[in-house]
Each structure stands twice: as structure tokens, then as C-alpha cells.
Structure 1
Amino acid sequence: MPYRTIRTLFLLLGGVLLMAGLAGCGTQVERLEPEEVRDLSGAWNDTDSRLVSEEMISDMLSRPWVNDFKRQTGKQPVVIVGTVRNLSHEHINTNTFVNDIQRELTNSGRVTFVASRVERDEIRDERLDQDIHASAETRKAMGQEYGADYMLSGQINTIIDMEGRTQVRYYQVDLTLISLTDNRKAWVGQKKIKKEVVNSKLRY
């Protein structure tokens, strides 16, 4: 076989192998169920957010303050979620955690849950717009909002202990329910999570 033909065949074969190699290194995607637990880095994730919110809200609503308020006023308590601060070593999307809390409160049916400060501002802008553009029959009047009886706020803290290639990540979530009438703490909740991560590249 002529040298030029052999050389051409080798070049073609090399190109095929190169393309196959590049295809093998491409991005691979596996679809997961939203509830499936999959810890990759050991950092705070969606599973932590969901489980912590479920357990803490369940504990909060099982305490005497709910029935005490109903007995004294004859109505369900009105709750608003305030600020949940991230004081941990890592980036945590507290908006996702707050949304999980709001979902648990709303779906419980035990309390009346009202919109956050940001949501209220948007709704108030819409009411102002309705005052100008909406008909009298469909216009929503100002000054008819539910006032919250309690505000739920809290913080997320971490402690990281590391030796060699092993890392222990400790999370502590503290939530406090405060009466807007007299600043009394109606409920104080705490949830702790501890994870051991081996051969972790995460430092903070």
C-alpha cells in the first residue's frame, strides 16, 4: 500500500478517535426527583433547607401559643416571615429557606400567613395603579390589609472542624417567633445538622 494512502488512513483514524474522545468527555445530565437526597460537596443544600423548615415549623405549630392565641382572640394568629440571616462560613440562599418556611406555614392551615415586606410593596403599587385605572366595582381599596400578630425571624450559623482530609460541618438554625404587640417571644426553635465530609476541597 502506498505510503501516502497509509498516512491518509492514519489521519482519518486519528480524527475519528479524537472525536470519540471529545464526545466521551461531554457534559452528562441525569434527571433527579426533587425530593431525592444527593450530597455532593457536604455544603448546605436543598434537602437541608426543606427538612429543616418542615421540622421547625411542625414544632412551632405544635406548641401552646397557637391555641392560647385562638382562645384569647377567637381567631387564628397572623404570621409574617421576617429576615433569616446567613451567618455561616458559606454562601446559603436564604430566600429558598424562607420560601420553604412560607410554604409550610401556608399549607398548615393553623395560622393566617401574610405577604413579606417586598411582596407588600409590589401589591401596594398595584393598588395605587388600580386607583387610577380600574373601575370602581373592581378597584381594591387601600387600608384593608391584615396586620401581622407575630414575626418569625432567625439565623443560620456554622462551625467547621477540619483535620487532614476529613471535615466536620456543623449547622445550627435558630428561629424566633415574636409578638408584634409586646415583643414577647412566643416560640424559640433550634435545629442542628452535622456532616462528615472526607477528602473535601471545601475550606469555608
Structure 2
Amino acid sequence: MRQLTTRGLWTSVLALSVLLVACSKATRVDRIEPDQTVDISGDWNDTDSRLVADEMIRDATAAPWARRFMEANAGKRPAVVVGRVTNKSSEHINVNTFVRDMVAAFIRTETARIVSSGDEREQLRFERYDQQDFASAETRARLRNELGADFMLLGEINTIFDREGGREVKYYQV
């Protein structure tokens, strides 16, 4: 009798498993081009990050500050560090992605030299100090003067909501 109950239990579990698998919705993955825009939720996404960074840096490099700096410094391009960007919006925004997009946009313009952030410089210094003890003389990176920043770009991201009746529009202020 006990064997029959155990066998019936396992048969029921197997039947239930087959039923669940048969009724489950298959996952479908569609690959898209990296530059293709996809807006699913209406929240801040990687496309917003890239487009805003490109426009901000294009606007910043069109201003006369870089030209004036180069005129005053024998044609030397200004060194810029993209510093902290704070998320003060009402949603989760990965500010590190936005900072990387701004750095990439600056590099593409060739208007300024980009200086690593403080955290990146600290990691690089640690690696160079470590190499002094553990790397061969031919391959170790020398300790030397680093490029200092002439300018620092800081910012914050805010959300502004505009509601009228049953409609709502979300604006991002960067």
C-alpha cells in the first residue's frame, strides 16, 4: 500500500511538471543594433543617457571656453575630468553609465583631453606601485607626473512631472 501511494505521488508530480512546462510561455529574445532606440517603460534608459551626453558635450564644446583656453595656452587643449553626477530624480538612474557616455562624447569631439576620475587614478596608482615590486624592469609602468585637470564637469539629474487631467509628462533636467 505504501509503495502504491509513493508511486502515485511521483506520478502526480511528474504530470504536474509536464503540465506546467507545456503551459508556460516560451521566452523570446530579439537582438537589436546597439544604436537602435528602444523605449519600453518611458523611464530613463541607455538611449537617453547617450543622447543627452552627446548633446550636452556638443553644446559645451561649442562654447568659447575651450578656444579661449587654447589661445591662452599656446594651442594646448584643456584637460577635463568628468566628476560626480548625482541622481536626484524620482527613479533609479545608473549615473556611471551617463558619466561614461559623457567621457566618450568628449573624446569623440577631440576638443579636450580627458583626465581619469579620482577613483580611476587611485586604481592606476595602486597598479603602478604594485608593478614596481612584481613586474620586470622591461614591462613595468614608470611612476611619473600625471596630467592634472584644468576643468571639472559636475552635475545632477532631476525629474520634473507635468500633469494635466489624466495625462502626465516626465521631463529630465540634467
Partner secondary structure for residue 42 of structure 1: coil
Q: CA deviation at 1:18?
A: 5.1
Q: Which amino acid aligns with 1:67?
A: R
* Structure with the larger strand share: 1
Aligned to 1:39: 39
Q: CA deviation at 1:136?
A: 3.9
Q: Which runs of 5+ in 2 are unaligned?
A: 1-15
Matched, 1:97 2:80: no
Which digits, 9 at most, give the CA deviation of each residue in 1:3-31, with x for residues without a partner? Answer: xxxxxxxxxxxx9x9578525x1212111
Using the TM superposition, name which of 46-55 and 135-144 deviates more: 135-144
Consecutive aligned runs of 4 or more in structure 1 exceeding 4 Å deviation? 17-21, 162-165
Which digits, 9 at most, give the CA deviation of each residue in 1:11-67, with x for residues without a partner? Answer: xxxx9x9578525x1212111112111211111111111110011101111111111
Q: Which amino acid aligns with 1:156?
A: I
CA RMSD in angstroms comes to 2.3
Q: CA deviation at 1:134?
A: 3.0
Using the TM superposition, name which of 132-141 and 149-158 deviates more: 132-141
* Structure with the larger helix share: 2
Identity of aligned residues (%): 48
TM-score by length of 1: 0.70
Aligned to 1:113: 114
Q: Which amino acid aligns with 2:32?
A: L
Distance 1:124 1:71, change over 3 A: same
TM-score by length of 2: 0.81
Q: Which amino acid aligns with 1:36?
A: Q
> For 2:102 and 2:170, how far apart are their aligned partners in 1?
23
Q: Which runs of 5+ in 1 are unaligned?
A: 1-14, 174-204
